[in-house]
Amino acid sequence: MGKSKKGMLNNLVINRYTLWTIPNILVFLRILCVPVYMTLLILGSRAGEGNNYAEWWVFLALGIMVFAALTDVFDGKIARKYKAGTKIGKYTVKHDQGTYVGQCIDPIADKCMHIGAIVALAISGYLHWAFIIFIVFRELCMIVIGSFIVNDIDIKANMLGKVASAIISSGIILCFFHKYICQYLWGVFSLDWIVVTIGLILNWAAAVNYAVDASKQYKANKLKTANDENGTEETVVEESEQKENATEESVTEKRENAEIDTEENIEKETKE
Protein backbone atom coordinates (compact mmCIF):
# COMPACT_ATOMS: atom_id res chain seq x y z
CA MET A 1 0.00 0.00 0.00
CA GLY A 2 1.35 3.43 -0.90
CA LYS A 3 2.16 6.10 1.64
CA SER A 4 -0.53 8.60 2.59
CA LYS A 5 -0.23 12.17 1.35
CA LYS A 6 0.29 13.37 4.92
CA GLY A 7 3.16 10.91 5.39
CA MET A 8 4.69 11.94 2.08
CA LEU A 9 4.58 15.63 3.08
CA ASN A 10 6.15 14.82 6.44
CA ASN A 11 9.09 13.19 4.61
CA LEU A 12 9.50 16.15 2.25
CA VAL A 13 12.03 18.20 4.21
CA ILE A 14 13.92 20.72 2.08
CA ASN A 15 17.19 22.12 3.35
CA ARG A 16 20.80 22.18 2.16
CA TYR A 17 21.41 18.63 3.38
CA THR A 18 18.46 17.12 1.52
CA LEU A 19 18.73 19.36 -1.57
CA TRP A 20 22.43 19.65 -2.38
CA THR A 21 23.46 16.01 -2.28
CA ILE A 22 25.62 14.50 -5.02
CA PRO A 23 22.72 12.49 -6.55
CA ASN A 24 20.50 15.58 -6.58
CA ILE A 25 23.24 17.67 -8.21
CA LEU A 26 23.45 15.01 -10.94
CA VAL A 27 19.67 15.25 -11.36
CA PHE A 28 19.86 19.04 -11.74
CA LEU A 29 22.70 18.59 -14.24
CA ARG A 30 20.51 16.15 -16.19
CA ILE A 31 17.71 18.71 -16.35
CA LEU A 32 20.12 21.42 -17.54
CA CYS A 33 21.31 19.12 -20.34
CA VAL A 34 17.79 18.97 -21.83
CA PRO A 35 17.61 22.46 -23.40
CA VAL A 36 21.23 22.13 -24.53
CA TYR A 37 20.80 18.95 -26.57
CA MET A 38 17.39 20.09 -27.81
CA THR A 39 18.91 23.30 -29.21
CA LEU A 40 21.89 21.54 -30.76
CA LEU A 41 19.66 18.91 -32.37
CA ILE A 42 17.22 21.40 -33.87
CA LEU A 43 19.93 23.72 -35.17
CA GLY A 44 22.13 20.87 -36.42
CA SER A 45 19.23 19.43 -38.41
CA ARG A 46 19.01 22.75 -40.30
CA ALA A 47 22.67 22.80 -41.31
CA GLY A 48 23.30 23.76 -44.93
CA GLU A 49 20.22 25.95 -45.27
CA GLY A 50 22.17 29.18 -45.71
CA ASN A 51 23.36 29.32 -42.09
CA ASN A 52 26.47 28.59 -40.06
CA TYR A 53 25.04 25.57 -38.28
CA ALA A 54 27.05 22.36 -38.41
CA GLU A 55 25.58 18.93 -39.03
CA TRP A 56 27.80 17.37 -36.39
CA TRP A 57 25.85 19.31 -33.77
CA VAL A 58 23.21 16.56 -34.07
CA PHE A 59 25.72 13.97 -32.88
CA LEU A 60 26.99 16.32 -30.17
CA ALA A 61 23.38 16.55 -28.98
CA LEU A 62 23.22 12.75 -28.93
CA GLY A 63 26.43 12.62 -26.88
CA ILE A 64 25.06 15.09 -24.34
CA MET A 65 21.81 13.12 -24.10
CA VAL A 66 23.73 9.88 -23.48
CA PHE A 67 25.82 11.66 -20.83
CA ALA A 68 22.60 12.86 -19.16
CA ALA A 69 21.24 9.30 -19.24
CA LEU A 70 24.42 8.02 -17.55
CA THR A 71 23.97 10.49 -14.68
CA ASP A 72 20.64 8.75 -14.05
CA VAL A 73 22.52 5.49 -13.50
CA PHE A 74 25.12 6.98 -11.18
CA ASP A 75 22.81 9.11 -9.03
CA GLY A 76 20.76 6.02 -8.14
CA LYS A 77 23.83 3.98 -7.22
CA ILE A 78 25.28 6.79 -5.09
CA ALA A 79 21.95 7.38 -3.32
CA ARG A 80 21.58 3.69 -2.43
CA LYS A 81 25.20 3.09 -1.42
CA TYR A 82 26.22 6.15 0.58
CA LYS A 83 24.23 6.52 3.77
CA ALA A 84 25.09 8.68 6.76
CA GLY A 85 28.16 7.21 8.48
CA THR A 86 29.53 5.45 5.36
CA LYS A 87 33.34 5.47 5.26
CA ILE A 88 35.14 6.66 2.09
CA GLY A 89 38.79 6.34 2.98
CA LYS A 90 39.35 8.76 5.85
CA TYR A 91 36.18 10.68 5.05
CA THR A 92 32.85 9.83 6.68
CA VAL A 93 29.59 10.69 4.94
CA LYS A 94 27.68 12.96 7.31
CA HIS A 95 24.26 12.89 5.65
CA ASP A 96 22.24 10.38 3.61
CA GLN A 97 22.83 10.87 -0.11
CA GLY A 98 19.46 9.32 -0.88
CA THR A 99 16.73 11.80 0.13
CA TYR A 100 13.00 12.10 -0.39
CA VAL A 101 13.62 15.31 -2.34
CA GLY A 102 15.72 13.28 -4.77
CA GLN A 103 12.96 10.67 -5.10
CA CYS A 104 10.57 13.47 -6.10
CA ILE A 105 12.75 15.30 -8.64
CA ASP A 106 14.36 12.24 -10.26
CA PRO A 107 11.25 11.09 -12.19
CA ILE A 108 10.63 14.72 -13.23
CA ALA A 109 14.12 14.86 -14.72
CA ASP A 110 13.54 11.56 -16.54
CA LYS A 111 10.29 12.84 -18.08
CA CYS A 112 11.99 16.09 -19.12
CA MET A 113 14.73 14.10 -20.83
CA HIS A 114 12.41 11.82 -22.78
CA ILE A 115 9.87 14.45 -23.77
CA GLY A 116 12.60 16.97 -24.63
CA ALA A 117 14.29 14.47 -26.93
CA ILE A 118 11.17 13.42 -28.83
CA VAL A 119 9.95 17.03 -29.21
CA ALA A 120 13.33 18.13 -30.59
CA LEU A 121 13.38 15.15 -32.95
CA ALA A 122 9.89 16.01 -34.19
CA ILE A 123 10.80 19.67 -34.73
CA SER A 124 13.89 18.51 -36.62
CA GLY A 125 11.79 16.25 -38.83
CA TYR A 126 13.49 13.09 -37.55
CA LEU A 127 10.37 11.77 -35.78
CA HIS A 128 6.70 12.05 -36.73
CA TRP A 129 4.47 14.11 -34.43
CA ALA A 130 2.04 11.18 -34.10
CA PHE A 131 4.60 9.37 -31.93
CA ILE A 132 4.71 12.32 -29.54
CA ILE A 133 0.92 12.37 -29.23
CA PHE A 134 0.79 8.68 -28.29
CA ILE A 135 3.73 8.92 -25.85
CA VAL A 136 2.58 12.11 -24.11
CA PHE A 137 -1.06 10.97 -23.95
CA ARG A 138 -0.01 7.73 -22.31
CA GLU A 139 2.12 9.58 -19.73
CA LEU A 140 -0.72 12.01 -18.97
CA CYS A 141 -3.13 9.10 -18.47
CA MET A 142 -0.73 7.42 -16.05
CA ILE A 143 -0.21 10.67 -14.11
CA VAL A 144 -3.92 11.53 -13.86
CA ILE A 145 -5.05 8.01 -12.94
CA GLY A 146 -2.12 7.52 -10.58
CA SER A 147 -2.94 10.75 -8.70
CA PHE A 148 -6.34 9.32 -7.72
CA ILE A 149 -5.21 5.86 -6.62
CA VAL A 150 -1.69 6.51 -5.32
CA ASN A 151 -2.82 6.10 -1.68
CA ASP A 152 -4.79 2.91 -2.29
CA ILE A 153 -2.44 0.73 -4.33
CA ASP A 154 1.22 -0.02 -4.84
CA ILE A 155 2.00 -0.71 -8.51
CA LYS A 156 5.47 -2.00 -9.25
CA ALA A 157 7.23 -1.80 -12.59
CA ASN A 158 6.77 -4.93 -14.67
CA MET A 159 9.12 -6.48 -17.20
CA LEU A 160 6.95 -5.49 -20.17
CA GLY A 161 7.19 -1.83 -19.21
CA LYS A 162 10.96 -2.05 -18.84
CA VAL A 163 11.35 -3.73 -22.23
CA ALA A 164 9.08 -1.11 -23.85
CA SER A 165 11.12 1.74 -22.35
CA ALA A 166 14.37 0.15 -23.56
CA ILE A 167 13.01 -0.29 -27.10
CA ILE A 168 11.68 3.29 -27.24
CA SER A 169 15.03 4.61 -25.98
CA SER A 170 16.83 2.60 -28.67
CA GLY A 171 14.44 3.95 -31.30
CA ILE A 172 15.00 7.52 -30.16
CA ILE A 173 18.77 7.07 -30.46
CA LEU A 174 18.29 5.66 -33.98
CA CYS A 175 16.19 8.73 -34.85
CA PHE A 176 19.30 10.88 -34.55
CA PHE A 177 20.50 9.01 -37.64
CA HIS A 178 17.12 9.26 -39.39
CA LYS A 179 18.54 11.23 -42.32
CA TYR A 180 21.12 8.56 -43.11
CA ILE A 181 18.76 5.62 -42.48
CA CYS A 182 16.28 7.07 -44.98
CA GLN A 183 19.03 7.82 -47.48
CA TYR A 184 20.91 4.53 -47.40
CA LEU A 185 18.64 1.87 -45.86
CA TRP A 186 14.91 2.56 -45.85
CA GLY A 187 12.29 4.90 -47.22
CA VAL A 188 10.16 7.44 -45.38
CA PHE A 189 8.88 5.07 -42.66
CA SER A 190 12.35 3.90 -41.74
CA LEU A 191 13.97 1.48 -39.32
CA ASP A 192 14.10 3.98 -36.45
CA TRP A 193 10.37 4.67 -36.71
CA ILE A 194 9.62 0.94 -36.83
CA VAL A 195 11.57 0.42 -33.59
CA VAL A 196 9.75 3.31 -31.89
CA THR A 197 6.40 1.90 -33.09
CA ILE A 198 7.17 -1.50 -31.56
CA GLY A 199 8.19 0.20 -28.33
CA LEU A 200 4.97 2.23 -28.29
CA ILE A 201 2.80 -0.87 -28.78
CA LEU A 202 4.55 -2.59 -25.88
CA ASN A 203 4.36 0.63 -23.88
CA TRP A 204 0.59 0.79 -24.21
CA ALA A 205 0.33 -2.93 -23.47
CA ALA A 206 2.26 -2.32 -20.26
CA ALA A 207 -0.11 0.56 -19.42
CA VAL A 208 -3.09 -1.78 -19.82
CA ASN A 209 -1.30 -4.31 -17.61
CA TYR A 210 -0.76 -1.60 -14.96
CA ALA A 211 -4.45 -0.63 -15.18
CA VAL A 212 -5.61 -4.23 -14.70
CA ASP A 213 -3.26 -4.72 -11.75
CA ALA A 214 -4.38 -1.41 -10.22
CA SER A 215 -8.05 -2.38 -10.63
CA LYS A 216 -7.48 -5.74 -8.89
CA GLN A 217 -5.63 -4.13 -5.99
CA TYR A 218 -8.23 -1.38 -5.66
CA LYS A 219 -11.11 -3.89 -5.49
CA ALA A 220 -9.19 -6.10 -3.05
CA ASN A 221 -8.49 -3.12 -0.78
CA LYS A 222 -12.13 -2.04 -0.89
CA LEU A 223 -13.25 -5.57 0.00
CA LYS A 224 -10.74 -5.76 2.84
CA THR A 225 -11.92 -2.40 4.20
CA ALA A 226 -15.55 -3.54 4.04
CA ASN A 227 -14.68 -6.82 5.82
CA ASP A 228 -12.76 -4.94 8.50
CA GLU A 229 -15.72 -2.64 9.08
CA ASN A 230 -18.11 -5.59 9.28
CA GLY A 231 -15.73 -7.36 11.62
CA THR A 232 -15.59 -4.29 13.87
CA GLU A 233 -19.40 -4.04 13.95
CA GLU A 234 -19.72 -7.74 14.79
CA THR A 235 -17.16 -7.38 17.56
CA VAL A 236 -19.05 -4.41 19.06
CA VAL A 237 -22.34 -6.31 18.91
CA GLU A 238 -20.77 -9.40 20.44
CA GLU A 239 -19.20 -7.38 23.28
CA SER A 240 -22.54 -5.65 23.90
CA GLU A 241 -24.35 -9.00 24.07
CA GLN A 242 -21.73 -10.37 26.44
CA LYS A 243 -22.15 -7.34 28.72
CA GLU A 244 -25.93 -7.73 28.68
CA ASN A 245 -25.67 -11.44 29.47
CA ALA A 246 -23.22 -10.76 32.26
CA THR A 247 -25.52 -8.10 33.70
CA GLU A 248 -28.54 -10.41 33.56
CA GLU A 249 -26.57 -13.22 35.21
CA SER A 250 -25.39 -10.86 37.92
CA VAL A 251 -28.94 -9.62 38.61
CA THR A 252 -30.28 -13.18 38.66
CA GLU A 253 -27.51 -14.28 41.01
CA LYS A 254 -28.16 -11.38 43.38
CA ARG A 255 -31.89 -12.12 43.33
CA GLU A 256 -31.30 -15.79 44.12
CA ASN A 257 -28.90 -14.88 46.94
CA ALA A 258 -31.47 -12.46 48.35
CA GLU A 259 -34.18 -15.13 48.25
CA ILE A 260 -31.88 -17.62 50.00
CA ASP A 261 -31.05 -15.05 52.69
CA THR A 262 -34.77 -14.33 53.18
CA GLU A 263 -35.60 -18.01 53.53
CA GLU A 264 -32.80 -18.51 56.07
CA ASN A 265 -34.02 -15.55 58.10
CA ILE A 266 -37.58 -16.94 58.09
CA GLU A 267 -36.34 -20.32 59.26
CA LYS A 268 -34.36 -18.71 62.09
CA GLU A 269 -37.37 -16.71 63.21
CA THR A 270 -39.55 -19.84 63.12
CA LYS A 271 -37.14 -21.81 65.30
CA GLU A 272 -36.92 -19.00 67.79
Over range 7-30, report the average pLDDT.
69
Task: Map the chain to HEC letters.
Answer: CCCCHHHHHHHCCCCHHHHCCHHHHHHHHHHHHHHHHHHHHHHHHCCCCCCCCCCCHHHHHHHHHHHHHHHHHHHHHHHHHCCCCCEECCEECCCCCCCHHHHHHHHHHHHHHHHHHHHHHHHHCCCCHHHHHHHHHHHHHHHHHHHHHCCCCCCCCCHHHHHHHHHHHHHHHHHCCHHHHHHHCCCCCCHHHHHHHHHHHHHHHHHHHHHHHHHHHHHHHHHHHHHHHHHHHHHHHHHHHHHHHHHHHHHHHHHHHHHHHHHHHHHHHHHC
Between 167 and 52, residue with greater pLDDT: 167
Between 3 and 24, residue with greater pLDDT: 24
Among 76-90, 154-168, 172-186, the least confident range? 76-90
Q: pLDDT of 195-214, one tens digit each?
A: 999 999 998 888 888 778 77
What's the mean per-residue pLDDT of the chain?
75
pLDDT at 9: 44
pLDDT at 2 > cutoff 50 = no
Tell me the pLDDT band of 219, cut-offs 50, 70 and 90.
confident
Between 167 and 151, residue with greater pLDDT: 167
214 in Cβ contact with 155 (< 8 Å): yes
Over range 13-28, report the average pLDDT.
74
pLDDT at 35: 94
pLDDT at 49: 72
Domain-by-domain residue ranges, the chain?
Answer: 1-125
Phi and psi at 129, nearest 5°, equal -65, -25
Over range 141-152, report the average pLDDT.
66
Between 8 and 31, residue with greater pLDDT: 31
pLDDT at 6 > cutoff 50 = no
- Of the chain, the percentage scoring pLDDT greater than 70 comes to 60
